[in-house]
Structure 1
């Protein structure tokens, strides 16, 4: 069986003092309330600077309720979620409006990336999963024929959706929002906190987004790493009112030899191989999440031309050969 990590994304949060975990530093402050849980199966953390602890704890209760509600929309691992029903039946009548809204964003990112970002990739992902869980699986991966068959069910242009219904128009189609839903949930939690008057918080619902700065006025520090279990980051970013998302093929492999990562190209069926890590900083976590996925499958010239059309985006990546590049608009 393949070696697995607890997060599809790989990102680490560090404090200002030489690699000390941010949560350790945060707990020392009496006005800081921290919460740890899960969002879509990934570890989630909230660091909330609030002068009234009781109010902060009530806010956390509201956040937990909102995360639970959104999991019933987006989770692939809950049989009762709206997404699971869509994949099972092929259509949804009166769909949740969060699902319609996120599909609208997905269409934008699909167009922007010339198809590199495509949430209909799930049939291909399932093919690799099912292939490598067989006891005598061919270590070279699924056959070209089975990959072509899976790709026949992939293509965002084959989803019809509006506020009243969602329809998957091809046989065997299925949708995964794992490349964007954690960012969306992060943004919804930020909206909830800002609506309650919060001006200083770091929200991590699988992707990170900062509200304001830390309680002492300094920026939040987010360390970038290929894997969640890395002891130290390779780069530390300082962010205020920005979102950060990282994609890394090392976060999950289908096979023991770690040749086939979970990031699959919806245009070719092949696993990503260009970069060790791709990080995107943007104004919102939905954008950072989707673009970090898409850019993992795009050459640097295409990444550059894409962000030139969208302001306020920074890309920090590590190539497969270890070279480091940064692009910014």
Structure 2
């Protein structure tokens, strides 16, 4: 396989610190008085928090609290922690007395599945496993898994197969759930809620998806640079964001094969990989919505995307199609 386990990181935040290993808060530039920056990783993706606060000690306390909350939620939703609630559910097919946040997030995933006619589907994990196992072989057929195998995997896909209640979550045999298309946004929103409750009014939070609290302290917008999918070191567009969330999905974020024909964006109806766009960027009030819909819109034509923007709470969509043409849709 080509690429890392985590999904894409296409969004470049103006002034944000590049993510490394988990690190203690570091001082911001002298021109940004009262700024404390934390950098690290969360759910396998680069994570950044920029908190503006007069009291550095209080800012560091809030960052520690936010990271602890994010780690707690990661232990619920991660596919890569053997003792996570999600891994236990996929292993046994049932999760008794699930955490309220697990029920809330899976409920949101099912609502977006209904809204998009199944284009967002948290049960596509069998397709991921099929493609990952196929291309892990030294003699893998470059044309991908055979149609019989794809059909067998698709028989286990379908969000309507899940039973979700406050008491238990049940998935039939063969069904496996991934929350990678929505969990980062949800965690980002929870961190924002925590910081807001503590009086923070000017902050950028990126827990794999990006959301801002208010504007910068000087009243200016946060500038979000969208990388050119073909030349990621180059900015293709700059979006001005105030109190909004931004998420980008794209086929090149994870490639199973060296040729890049097969990626992590699966069509739940056919089992094929999305190739309509090089990248899809969504702007919304919440990172949960932006995250889920950037995934679903990657599989949809422009007209149905436009029709769903208002019902889905998406304010703007920035598209770069397979030919490199750019379109901006506004709700």
Q: What residue number does 2:23 align with?
A: none
96 and 229 in structure 1: CA distance in 2 versus 1, 3 angstrom threshold: farther
The C-alpha deviation readout for 1:143-184, integer Å capped at 9, x for no partner, is 000000000000000000110000002x21100000000000
Distance 1:128 1:319 in 2: 24
Q: What residue number does 1:271 align with?
A: 273
1:130 to 109, 133, 136: 133
Alpha-carbon deviation of 1:3? 2.6
Query: Counterpart of 2:264 in 1: which secondary structure?
Result: coil
Q: What residue number does 1:68 align with?
A: 71
> Which 5+ residue runs of structure 2 have no aligned equivalent?
19-26
Q: Does 1:11 align with 2:13?
A: no
197 and 72 in structure 1: CA distance in 2 versus 1, 3 angstrom threshold: same
302 and 190 in structure 1: CA distance in 2 versus 1, 3 angstrom threshold: same
Alpha-carbon deviation of 1:27? 2.7
Q: Residues 76 and 86 of structure 2 are in contact (CA less than 8 Å); yes or no, is this contact kept in structure 1?
A: yes
Distance 2:45 2:64 in 1: 18
Distance 2:231 2:59 in 1: 30
74 and 265 in structure 1: CA distance in 2 versus 1, 3 angstrom threshold: same
Query: Counterpart of 1:63 in 2: which secondary structure?
Result: helix
Within 5 Å, which residues of 2 pair with 1:49-68? 49-68=52-71
Alpha-carbon deviation of 1:9? 2.4
Within 5 Å, which residues of 2 pair with 1:305-324? 305-311=307-313, 313-324=315-326
> Which 5+ residue runs of structure 1 have no aligned equivalent?
16-20
Alpha-carbon deviation of 1:233? 1.5
Q: TM-score, normalised by structure 2?
A: 0.94
Distance 1:282 1:89 in 2: 35
Within 5 Å, which residues of 2 pair with 1:163-312? 163-169=166-172, 171-226=173-228, 230-311=232-313
Query: Counterpart of 1:104 in 2: which secondary structure?
Result: helix
Query: Counterpart of 1:57 in 2: which secondary structure?
Result: helix
1:88 to 86, 91, 94: 91
CA RMSD of aligned residues (A): 1.7
Distance 1:68 1:260 in 2: 31
Q: Residues 10 and 248 of structure 1 are in contact (CA less than 8 Å); yes or no, is this contact kept in structure 2?
A: no
168 and 229 in structure 1: CA distance in 2 versus 1, 3 angstrom threshold: farther
Q: Residues 249 and 261 of structure 1 are in contact (CA less than 8 Å); yes or no, is this contact kept in structure 2?
A: yes
State how many pairs are aligned.
322
Query: Counterpart of 2:282 in 1: which secondary structure?
Result: strand
The C-alpha deviation readout for 1:1-38, integer Å capped at 9, x for no partner, is x33147412323343xxxxx444995332300000111
Q: Residues 73 and 187 of structure 2 are in contact (CA less than 8 Å); yes or no, is this contact kept in structure 1?
A: yes
Alpha-carbon deviation of 1:246? 0.2
Q: Residues 280 and 314 of structure 1 are in contact (CA less than 8 Å); yes or no, is this contact kept in structure 2?
A: yes
Q: Residues 32 and 48 of structure 1 are in contact (CA less than 8 Å); yes or no, is this contact kept in structure 2?
A: yes
Q: TM-score, normalised by structure 1?
A: 0.94
Query: Counterpart of 1:317 in 2: which secondary structure?
Result: strand
